[in-house]
Chain A
Amino acid sequence: MSQRYVYILAAILAIVGILLFAYKWLALGFPLTANRETPVWTIETSVTFDAGPGSIKVDLHIPTLTPGFRTLNQNSVSRGFGFNLDYSSGGRVARWAIRRANGTQTVYYRISVYEDSGSRQEDTTPPFPPPPSIEEPFRTAVEVIVEDVRAQSADTASFVSALIRTLRDPSPGPNVELLLSEVGSDKDFVQTLTTLLAAARIPARVIRGLELEGRQRSADLISWLEIHDGDSWRYFNPVTGEENLPRRFFIWWRGSETLVDVQGATNVQTRFAVQENYLDTVTIAETQAAQAGGGLVDFSLYSLPIQTQAVYSVLLMIPIGALVMVLMRNFVGIDAFGTFMPVLIALAFRETRLFWGVIMFLLLVSLGLSIRFLLERLRLLLVPRLTAVLIVVVMLMLLISLVSHTFGVDTGLSVALFPMVIIAMTIERMSVVWEERGAADAVRAGVGSVIIAVVAYVAMGIAWLEHLIFTFPELLLAVLALVILAGRYTGYRLLELTRFKALTGS
């Protein structure tokens, strides 16, 4: 009965821990290994203009829906301008305004984004566009072209491709020539495409964006074609007619409106600068989760001050050390002093490094032990005697530090990081066992403590485990489940196999 409760409890703890872990890992994108960095692009748009005499209003289109990318943060820099974000038919707009300004002014809009293939364009399905009102002779040209292309295509996508190929034909027909006679730029070309597509009742629009690549002082806007096939938005290369998007194409805005609209100023210049840098994946995952409103992340350790984080990265490994101790004591059967002493010693080893840690621990305990035997002759009462041992331990630490420093070995300094109360208790405990049960028992338990401490130290020092526990503290629930299960282990301990070996003979 109680056995079943134990299994159920352990299973619940393990499942909750692992589900939380899986959610944070798979859904929120927390990295499994440390130092994973994700490239982050910071795009800065600067709008420079010469101020006119009156009030100035600057409207800048800024990214709204950015498939393939997610926003980390955005901000605006300007001096004296009022700033707000607004929506227009073409998407979001950054709006600066000032009553009066002199000379050349610059306003900045900065956005940091990172790649995320999970980010899709979730847009409402647009209505079929009304037939465009085109004047003759263009009207006939459009109708003929649409008719021709429709005959050569099977569905929306192939229609769009065929249309682009027709318009890009090196030896165009007279209708195409007529249509393209007024087209100057790529943008105009795509604009013409959307008109043709509207005539074919296919919703389409120009999209304008940047190819994010390394560091660019002045990035060029690229025009692309976006059409809706009734289910989703699709992207077409306006030059080749292939359906694709350029690599790392960051869509800035959509539609035929101009990027920036400035009132009350002249000589407007807009420039895009792109900066690539790397950010810890954990930071990105957290920002993303916070934006998604995940309350889970509010409990993340990364939100703590850095110093506190450092403390917790150590503290969170203590359960791992304790788990090692459970295994060593209940499954292997190694004797040790105290319940948690080996784990605390292992913690001290983290600071001193293993080799010096073991040496200094043995040195301290054996020196302390000899002093303790001297104290025995004075016949002191228990508490004063323990205190005397503690004071001696502190002085021994000081001595070891001073001596090792004189000889230029700085590792000796870290001896001060040993938990001296624990050492004093160990010495006392060991001396009692020594007197009452003999040296063999005392040394065996002492050696057992050091062995457990060393194994716990090794386990607590595994870097990826430390990262894993720190990033996913919920895994401690799984550790708890393991410990609870270990608490019901009734099998033999490894060392009992030899201890009772004689009994299997008969």
Chain B
Amino acid sequence: MFGAAKALRDAGVLGLNERNANYIMRLNERRFYPRVDDKVLTKKISLAAGMAVPELYGVIDHQGDVRKFPEIVENLESFVVKPAAGSGGDGILVVTGRSTRKRDSFRLASGLLISTDEILHHLSNIVGGQYSLSGNPDKALIEYCVRFDPVFAEVSYQGVPDVRVIVYRGYPVMSMVRLPTRASDGKANLHQGAVGTGVDMGHGKTLIGVLGNEVVDEHPDTGALIAGLQIPGWEQILESSARAHEVTELGYLGVDIVIDRDLGPLILEMNARPGLNIQIANNTGLRSRLKRIDEIYNPADDPATRARIAQREFAV
């Protein structure tokens, strides 16, 4: 047992206790949490900092507003409904179009039809706080549905693949691409069965894939090879992630980015408690990279510099 713990330590693996005590609690001030926990606020401050985010169509912040939903989406063919304080992709509805026969029925990314009534119920559940971390009343966002870049089309089953970047003291340190599968119901969440792939920080190319704790070479649904895909706009992704540190003032941060085929990388959400599975996807421990940043940390570095340092330091 102690041998196994030592082996992990030697491999530079970061454990949950250490992440919480030494990184999250030390570097993430509680008062800044709303900046990432409330997606409406995240969007607002990101926009103010000049970063690209999916367009916000409307916010429903109490039960009475739920009936305004048809009005908000009147001229929209596709959109996403999500809770402002949700976590892990819970409570997100991705609407990709409308039923051809009935205007008030919508088609979900999975291909299923959903009636306006059902969406209204979902909205009141969100507002009632079913998906918020604490169970408190929440807000529902209706926002632009990303049309994702074809580079991942072969390795995604429905849903939107996203790029997760861990940013430590403003420096991107590790990244992975999360690919939705049939099992994950189109959600890019590793807990729910999405495939995670490590990313070569230097060039933005995908490495091996991980499903659960198993290494996989091919996407389980499409059978396409996962490794070696070039993530478009990699340098811009790194720079946006690095800048997220200034926007949120959080020292240990997960930035989730989607790549729109027309608009390029868009910041989808941020997370003050990013998970540790990214280590498995990269087959590398986070701890050693965090230590490296501590060594070369320079408060004068601007986001662009920090992105370049990340490319230099953590290239595979």
Given A382-B129, A437-B191, A503 contacting B1 (CB threshold 8 A): no
Per-residue 0/1 for B69-98: is the Cβ within 8 Å of any A Cβ (1 yes, 0 no)? 000000000000000000010110000000
Q: Which residues of A contact B285 (CB under 8 A)?
A: 500, 503
One of A330, A499, A504 near B11 (C-beta < 8 A): A504
The reply to whether the CB of B21 lies closer than 8 angstroms to some CB of chain A is yes
Given A381-B128, A500-B280, A437 contacting B17 (CB threshold 8 A): no
A317 to chain B, nearest CB (A): 26
One of A381, A383, A437, A492 near B15 (C-beta < 8 A): A492
Per-residue 0/1 for B1-30: is the Cβ within 8 Å of any A Cβ (1 yes, 0 no)? 100110111110101111001100000000
Instruction: Count how many chain A residues have C-beta atoms less than 8 Å from C-beta atoms of the other chain.
Output: 28
Interface pair B215/A502, CB less than 8 Å apart: yes
Interface pair B91/A493, CB less than 8 Å apart: no
The reply to whether the CB of A436 lies closer than 8 angstroms to some CB of chain B is yes
Residues of A326-347 contacting chain B, CB below 8 A: 330, 333
A415 to chain B, nearest CB (A): 26
Chain B residue at smallest Cβ distance from A382: B128
Pair count A-B, CB < 8 A:
93
Chain B residue at smallest Cβ distance from A500: B13
The reply to whether the CB of B105 lies closer than 8 angstroms to some CB of chain A is no
Q: Most chain-B Cβ atoms within 10 A of its Cβ — which of A333, A379, A488, A489?
A: A379
The reply to whether the CB of B116 lies closer than 8 angstroms to some CB of chain A is no
The reply to whether the CB of B192 lies closer than 8 angstroms to some CB of chain A is yes
* Bound form: Cα–Cα A376–B28 in Å: 37
Q: Which residues of B contact A491 (CB under 8 A)?
A: 5, 15, 17-18
The reply to whether the CB of A8 lies closer than 8 angstroms to some CB of chain B is no
A339 to chain B, nearest CB (A): 12
* Bound form: Cα–Cα A492–B286 in Å: 14
* Bound form: Cα–Cα A487–B130 in Å: 29
A338 to chain B, nearest CB (A): 11
One of A496, A497, A503 near B16 (C-beta < 8 A): A496
Chain A residue at smallest Cβ distance from B19: A490
Interface pair B191/A381, CB less than 8 Å apart: no
Interface pair B4/A490, CB less than 8 Å apart: no
The reply to whether the CB of B156 lies closer than 8 angstroms to some CB of chain A is no
Residues of A457-506 contacting chain B, CB below 8 A: 487-494, 496-497, 499-504, 506
Given A382-B129, A502-B280, A503-B8, A492 contacting B121 (CB threshold 8 A): no
Interface pair B21/A493, CB less than 8 Å apart: no
Interface pair A503/B192, CB less than 8 Å apart: no
Residues of B270-307 contacting chain A, CB below 8 A: 276, 279-280, 283-285
Interface pair A494/B1, CB less than 8 Å apart: yes
Interface pair A381/B5, CB less than 8 Å apart: no
The reply to whether the CB of A211 lies closer than 8 angstroms to some CB of chain B is no
Chain B residue at smallest Cβ distance from A432: B130
The reply to whether the CB of B63 lies closer than 8 angstroms to some CB of chain A is yes
Interface residues of A (CB under 8 A from B): 330, 333, 379, 381-383, 432, 436-438, 441, 487-494, 496-497, 499-504, 506
